[in-house]
Amino acid sequence: MDRRSFFMLPAAAVPALLTGQAGPAVQDPVEKDVPRTTPTIALNHLGFRPGVGRKMLVVRMTSANPPDRFLLRDIGSSNFRFIGDLTSTRGDLGPCLTADFTDLRREAIYQINVGDEHSVPFFIREDVWRRTLPKPVGYYRYQRCGVDVPGVHPICHLDDARRRDNGEHVNVVGGWHDAGDLRKWMDVTMLNAIALLNLVHNIANPRPGDPTHEQVLDEVWHGNRYFLKMQDTDGKIWHDTAGGVNGDNSDNHWTDNIVGTPDDRYINTRKIEEMGATFVTLQALVNQRFAASDSAYARLCLRAGLRAWNASARQGSTLALAWWTLAACELYRATFQTEYRNEAIRLGRDLMARQATAFLADQREIRGYWTEGKQPSEDPSAPPQVRPYFNVVFPAMPAYALLELHELFRDAPDRTRWNDAVRMHLDEYLIPISQRNPYGIIPSGLFVGQPTPETYRPLAGQLTYRYFMPVRKQFWWQGINSHLESCALLAARFAVLEKNAPGAGKQYADLAYRQLEWVMGANPFGACMMTGEGMRNPYPHSRFVGLIPGGIMNGIAGNAEDQPVLDEAYAIDWRTNEYWSPHVAYYLWSVSTLEMLA
C-alpha cells in the first residue's frame, strides 16, 4: 500500500493497519453514484460564445412526471425572457431532458429555470472562454519548484536529487510540482510547457486581459531549466524526480534544502521512448519561440533536442510514434532540413498503420480508432490480437500528430491520407460514440469483450466501451478530464483546419466544446472542476498548498457499473479531486485553439 491509498482509508481501518492486523473490508469512499440532492440542471457554468458551438441544456430526469419546459431569462434586464420545450432523451448515463438554444446569440448574462430549480447564471458573450485563460496560466506559478513562491510556499527542494541507480547527487532543481503533491513527473510537466508554447502560437496577438507572451514564456523558461537538467550524457531523458521508489509515495514531502541529508529525493533514471520524443518536441518549440528574443538560449535548447533525437531509433508504442512525429515536425519547423521532413513522413506511415481502418471484432459500425498494433494474447497458444489504443492522458495524440503533418507538408503525397485518417477517426468513432449520452462526452476508450469483472457497455460485435476507467483492473484509476480535453483539442484543431470548408467544421467545434463543458459544470453533479471558475467546486486533493486558482482536478470517474462518481464530501480522494497538470495544459491548448474560430 502506498501513501496515497493510506491517506484514503477511513479512520476506522487505520489502527488495524498500524498493528498489522487484517482490517474490515474497506468501501471506497467515492464509489457511489450521484446523490439525490444534486442539482438536476447540467449546464456549463461559463456559458457560450454567440456563434461558435451548440448551446445545449441537459436536465437529469429524477421523477416520473418531469417538467416539459424551461424558462430562460436575462438577469441583467427584466425584459428579455423566453420559454422553450424540453425533450426526453434516453441514452447512457441516465434519462435526461434536453433543449438546444443555439439560435440565441444575444449577448447577456442569463439564468435558466426548470421547475423550481435555478441554473448557475451564465453568459452568452464572445470571450466567455478566453477570459478564463489567465487563471490556468497562473496555476503554474503556484506549482513552481526550487523557488520561493510568495503566498504559496517558501523556497523548496534545493536538494533535488540523488540518482536511484547509483546514489550520486545531480542538480535537478526547478520545474513544477505536477499535481496536488510535490512530485516532478517529466511527461506531463513537459506537456505543460508544450501547451503554453502552443497558446503563444494560437493567441498570436494578445488583447488586454489575455496572458502576455512575456508571462507565458517566462513560465516556460522556468520549467525548461529543469527539463534540460534531466538529460543524461547519452542524450536520453530520465523519467522523473521524486516519483517515488518502487511505485510508492515516499518522495512526496518537503525537504531541508540541504544536499546529502537523508530527506533528499530520488531521480528515476529509467529512459523510455515517449519521454525522449516529448523532450525533442518541446526543445524544438522552445527554439522557435525564443529565436528572436534569446537566440543563444534557443540554440542551446535545439542542441539538447537534437542529442535526444539522435539517441533514439524512434520506434515503439503508438504514443511514442505520435510524439516522434510531432518531434520531427517541430524540428523541421526549427531547421527546414529535409531529413526531418522525410522522417516525419515515415513516422506518419507507421502511425497510420496502427489505425483500425477495417471493421474489427465482428462488427461493421465503428472504425477509425487507434490500436497498439498486434500484441501477444494472454493465452500463449492464441494468435496475436489487435488491441484498441487506450490512454486517458494522451488519447488524441496519434490523430493530432497526423494533423500536424497535414498542416506542415502541403505538397507531400500522403497529405490527403493524413486528413482522411483523422476524419475517419472523428466521423466514424468519436462523433457517433459521443452521441450515445446526452452530455455528448466521449467514453474513455474501447475494449474487446469484458477484460475485467465489471460493466463494459456493448457497442457492436465484440467491441465494448466504458465512459470511465476500469476500476477492477488495477489500483490506478481516476477521473477523465485530460481524456475529454485532449479529444477537445483534436476536434478543435480539425475544426480550425476545416473552417473554410462547406459547413465550416461546425460539428467538430461542437464536439470540442461539449467535452470542455463537462469539465466546467455540464455534468451530472453540476460541479465546475476548475478552482476559481463556476460553482460547486469540490475541494481539491491538494495536500500541500491548498486551493490553486485555475487548477483543474482529475474529474468525474466511474464505479464498477460505469456510473459517474465524484468526491463532494471532503474525503480528499485523489482519484477524482486531485489537481493534475495535464488537465490545465489541455485546457489552455484546446481553448486557445478554439479562439482561432471566429
Binding site for Zn ion (CB under 5 A): 145, 156-157
Cell numbers for 472: 477492477
Residues 513, 44: Cα–Cα separation, whole Å: 10
Give the phi and the psi of residue 163 in degrees, each rounded to 5. Answer: -70, 140
- Count CA atoms within 13 Å of residue 222 on its CB side: 23
Q: Specify the residue, 156 or 492, whose C-beta has the smaller distance to Zn ion.
A: 156
Residues 497, 511: Cα–Cα separation, whole Å: 15
Q: Specify the residue, 13 or 147, whose C-beta has the smaller distance to Zn ion.
A: 147
Cell numbers for 372: 497498439
Residues 516, 56: Cα–Cα separation, whole Å: 13
CB of 155 to Zn ion, least distance (A): 8
CB of 506 to Zn ion, least distance (A): 45
Q: Specify the residue, 175 or 398, whose C-beta has the smaller distance to Zn ion.
A: 175
CB of 68 to Zn ion, least distance (A): 55
CB of 176 to Zn ion, least distance (A): 9
Longest CA span, the chain:
73
Q: Among 519, 486, 434, which residue's Cα sits nearest to residue 93?
A: 434
Q: Specify the residue, 143 or 486, whose C-beta has the smaller distance to Zn ion.
A: 143
CB of 185 to Zn ion, least distance (A): 13
Nearest residue (beta carbon) to Zn ion: 145
Q: Specify the residue, 55 or 157, whose C-beta has the smaller distance to Zn ion.
A: 157
Label residue 555 left, alpha or beta by phi (over 0 means left) and psi (-120 to 50 means alpha). left
- Count CA atoms within 13 Å of residue 135 on its CB side: 17
Q: Specify the residue, 138 or 538, whose C-beta has the smaller distance to Zn ion.
A: 138
Cell 527546414: give the residue: 336
* Contact (CB, 8 A) for 516 and 25: no
Peptide bond into 161 cis (omega under 30): yes
Q: Specify the residue, 156 or 489, whose C-beta has the smaller distance to Zn ion.
A: 156
Cell numbers for 239: 523519467
* Contact (CB, 8 A) for 488 and 513: yes
Give the phi and the psi of residue 448 in degrees, each rounded to 5. Answer: -110, 115
Q: Which strand (E) or helix (H) includes residue 445?
A: strand 445-448
Distance of CA 107 to the CA centre of its chain: 30
Q: Specify the residue, 68 or 148, whose C-beta has the smaller distance to Zn ion.
A: 148
> Would strands 56-60 and 41-42 be described as parallel, antiparallel, or unpaired?
antiparallel
Distance of CA 596 to the CA centre of its chain: 20
Q: Specify the residue, 145 or 327, whose C-beta has the smaller distance to Zn ion.
A: 145
Cell numbers for 263: 530527506
CB of 177 to Zn ion, least distance (A): 6
Q: Specify the residue, 40 or 241, whose C-beta has the smaller distance to Zn ion.
A: 241
CB of 216 to Zn ion, least distance (A): 21
Q: Specify the residue, 112 or 156, whose C-beta has the smaller distance to Zn ion.
A: 156
Q: Among 392, 412, 389, 421, which residue's Cα sits nearest to residue 316?
A: 389
CB of 544 to Zn ion, least distance (A): 9
Residues 121, 117: Cα–Cα separation, whole Å: 12
